[in-house]
Amino acid sequence: MTYTPNPARYNSMVYRRCGKSGLKLPALSLGLWHNFGHVDVLENARQMLRDAFDAGITHFDLANNYGPPYGSAEENFGSILEKDFLGYRDELIISTKAGYDMWPGPYGDRGSKKYLVSSLDQSLKRMNLEYVDIFYHHRPDPETPLEETMGALDLLVRQGKALYVGLSNYKPAEAAEAIRILRDLGTPCLIHQPKYSMFLRWVEDGLLDLLEEEGVGCIPFSPLAQGLLTSKYLKGIPEGSRAAKSHGHLQETDITGEKVEQIRQLNELAQQRGQSLAQMALAWLLKDDRVTSVLIGASSPAQLADSLKSLQHTRFSADELERIETILR
């Protein structure tokens, strides 16, 4: 069936300016880290992308090694793009990244110019695109001079393969130096993508201040702490959850009694606010003007719809914020 986007798709989404740039991003962006690979159901992925765009989500975030297998999220996204979104490319912000292990040998990982240029060329082929809107270095590489890595990002913009560049997983001191180098090269850093949630708050120790000062946007990933900030783990570890899969990023050992008690109390507060815990966790990030957009994942259209409801209530009273701090302490 031919897809026709919702004509009212821009009416209810909030768009925020990305740092000091001319670019605006939707308050929620869709990440394709999980559930978009060849091991997943393609029609489910396709429906989620359609629903996201219908709700005004214009930004889709990928990386070279998303899948599994590596590269398959980009391949699937490319094929869905061709079927459903070809006439809407100019309404989309598409990002990808390189910096983690991607192919064997010394040139398929980290931050060399060789790796970054080759990786983006491969990503463009997989997605059948001429350019991406944002290309990120996915993590710092202590073995490669930062000038080389940032020089590669600058080169890719000058080649027309990316419109903007960003950083991910860079700590404040590393980010400050990378931002300076990019500015001197004439390709300013657009955005930083850190891991940030109620349960992981290292970005508050200098990174958010730096980004505000430098006019760089911020787009947190893992805003629900890999599912911990949902009601999923209130009664133990459900079968099939990320914590139940030993190969996942979330381990059973992360679900301590103290953590479950925090989740329970946060869940109680969310209910008093008329939200699910997941919705409150997303709203809590969006309360900060320095956060441009929050990167959400989804395993189903229903989960995506649930996350979108977080935008209906993003204000917190001083009492609610104090209560959250007390619970998290």
Residues in the chain: 329
Q: Count Cα neighbours of 62 within 13 Å in the Cβ-side half-sphere.
A: 31
Residues 6+ apart with CB under 8 A from 1: none
The three-point CA angle 89-221-8 to 5° equals 40
Q: Would you say the pTM of this structure is higher than 0.75?
A: yes
Tens digit of each residue's pLDDT, the chain (329 residues): 899 999 999 999 999 999 999 999 999 999 999 999 999 999 999 999 999 999 999 999 999 999 999 999 999 999 999 999 999 999 999 999 999 999 999 999 999 999 999 999 999 999 999 999 999 999 999 999 999 999 999 999 999 999 999 999 999 999 999 999 999 999 999 999 999 999 999 999 999 999 999 999 999 999 999 999 998 888 766 565 555 554 556 656 667 889 999 999 999 999 999 999 999 999 999 999 999 999 999 999 999 999 999 999 999 999 999 999 999 99
* Closest of 309, 303, 223, 227 to residue 47, by C-alpha: 303
d(CA 176, CA 305): 36
Q: Which domains, from first to last, does the chain contain?
A: 15-232+288-315 (3.20.20.100)
Instruction: Report the candidate in 276, 295, 173 with the shortest Cα–Cα distance to residue 222.
Output: 295
DSSP 8-class letter at 117: H
- Which three-class secondary structure state does DSSP give residue 307? helix
CA distance 21 to 15: 13
Q: Which residue has tokens 């931002």?
A: 179
d(C-alpha 60, C-alpha 295), whole Å: 9
Q: Which residues contact 223 (CB under 8 A, 6 or more apart)?
A: 196, 197, 229, 281, 282, 285, 294, 295, 296
Q: Taking Cα atoms as reference points, which of 255, 283, 265 lies closest to residue 329? A: 265
Asked whether the beta carbons of 27 and 311 are under 8 A apart, the reply is yes
